[in-house]
Amino acid sequence: MRRAVIIVLDSVGVGAAADLTPQDNPKANTLAHVLESGGRTLPNLQCLGLGNILPLPIVPPVKKPLAAWGRLAPRSCGKDTTSGHWELAGLVLNKPLPTYPQGFPASLIEAFSMIVGRGVLGNKTASGTAIITELGEEHMRSGALIVYTSADSVFQIAAHEETVPLKELYEACRQARSLLQGEYGVGRVIARPFLGQPGGFYRTDNRRDYSLSPPPDGLLSQVRRKQLPVVAVGKIIDIFAGQDISLSFPAHNNRESQCALLQALDEVDRGLIFANYVDFDMLYGHRNDAEGYARAMATFDTGLPDILEKLREDDLLLVTADHGNDPTQPGTDHDRENVPLLVCGALIAPRDLGLRNTFADAGATVAAWLGAEKLPAGESFLDLIS
């Protein structure tokens, strides 16, 4: 039976998209700028054809790439994790998920506070590390939850694990998710637990995401309708609100995602394996750490042969991303960028796929590979590479 593997390198964009708004950064080019700043070679990705996708410092093109290569353009209204992953799965959002740059409505915060039985601090746009530095001590003294957002469609709740037990924090997120529906339907409610003392607070690995339920008939749904398993690695299960997931391998960082993906490749003999490598965005893009981003890319590259060695003759592997987050540019928010596309397997013919019209072409191709029904959006390029 065939398998398809999708690896999402979270935020590894490859240049500004064509449909930018005045609020978007036309200079964003996450991968090129990271390599320029970090000075890291990526020999294994280079062999697949990474340098053939666009001009990259230190990673030149090769004459005979081992993979098909190209770029995917975003079509959904948004530049966040939810819209990016959903679009990869054939679900294009024609209406943006709501954002709250001025904070959430007072009535919503009051309702949330009443339900959870705690006060609320913050309620503004902020960096996650900055806001716990600013409000962490007051939170520990009062027990009030820290609520904040970003340029993305998110409702984030930060709490010290010794002040608010994790079980209570997670329940508060579930309560927030039940409130944030309809016109308030943000893409994700995120638990942001932290530890430490004033002047030395740090976020822990106990983050948990509570996503809006995705629309019907996407890639995961269609694969399940073929009686095939859908296996999630990392935060994929959260992004799709657990829908149509047969088995999940939890992972809090790139190292754990790598181990979990290798385990899934050993244990799952058919269907879809969908993996997210979160560190690029979470640890480096949002913190303007180009050197750390480059190191993370080099580490993924070093582990890539372990993944390739586990592919069978009838496997399809796609390596791509969900949006950009250029750490060399001002600000810490996501960028609307095209994303890379590398497609390989024993039955795949390397060729230039150019710039595809939508991320959804990736999902459409995987659906075709697995014999699933056509997705709501996207055109398969399987006939070009078979």
For the stretch 59-85, pLDDT in tens is 999 999 999 999 999 999 989 999 999
Domain boundaries, given as residue ranges, for the chain:
3-95+212-385, 106-211
pLDDT > 70 fraction of the chain, expressed in percent and rounded: 100
> Which residue matches tokens 């939508």?
358
Angle at 329 between CA 337 and CA 236, to 5 degrees: 45
| Mean pLDDT for the stretch of residues 282-295 | 95
> What is the pLDDT of the chain when averaged over all its residues?
96
Over 90: is that where the pLDDT of 152 sits?
no
**How does residue 114 score in pLDDT terms, banded at 50, 70 and 90?**
very high
Q: Give the CATH H-level superfamily of domain 3-95+212-385.
A: Alkaline Phosphatase, subunit A (3.40.720.10)
CATH T-level fold of 106-211: Alpha-Beta Plaits (3.30.70)
Q: How confident is the model at residue 339, as a pLDDT? A: 98
Distances (CA, A) of 3 to 115, 228, 289, 303, 315: 44, 9, 35, 20, 5
Q: How confident is the model at residue 39, as a pLDDT? A: 81
Spatial contact of 17 and 41, defined as CB atoms under 8 Å apart: no
| Mean pLDDT for the stretch of residues 116-124 | 98
Spatial CB neighbours of 58, under 8 Å, sequence gap ≥ 6: 35, 39, 40, 41, 42
Q: How confident is the model at residue 374, as a pLDDT? A: 97
Report pTM.
Answer: 0.92
B/e letters for 290-314, b = 16+ CB within 10 Å, e = fewer, are bebbbbbbbbbbebbeebbebbeee
Over 90: is that where the pLDDT of 260 sits?
yes
- In 3D space, the residue among 290, 298, 297 whose CA is nearest the CA of residue 321 turns out to be 297
d(CA 175, CA 177) in angstroms, rounded, equals 5
For the stretch 319-335, pLDDT in tens is 999 999 999 999 888 99
Over 90: is that where the pLDDT of 90 sits?
yes
122 φ/ψ angles, rounded to the nearest 5 degrees: 90, -95
Over 90: is that where the pLDDT of 1 sits?
no
Spatial CB neighbours of 292, under 8 Å, sequence gap ≥ 6: 283, 284
Secondary structure class of 215 (helix, strand, coil): coil
d(CA 152, CA 18) in angstroms, rounded, equals 20
Q: How confident is the model at residue 73, as a pLDDT? A: 98
d(CA 258, CA 263) in angstroms, rounded, equals 9
Distances (CA, A) of 153 to 97, 150, 346: 6, 7, 39
Q: How confident is the model at residue 49, as a pLDDT? A: 98
157 φ/ψ angles, rounded to the nearest 5 degrees: -120, 115
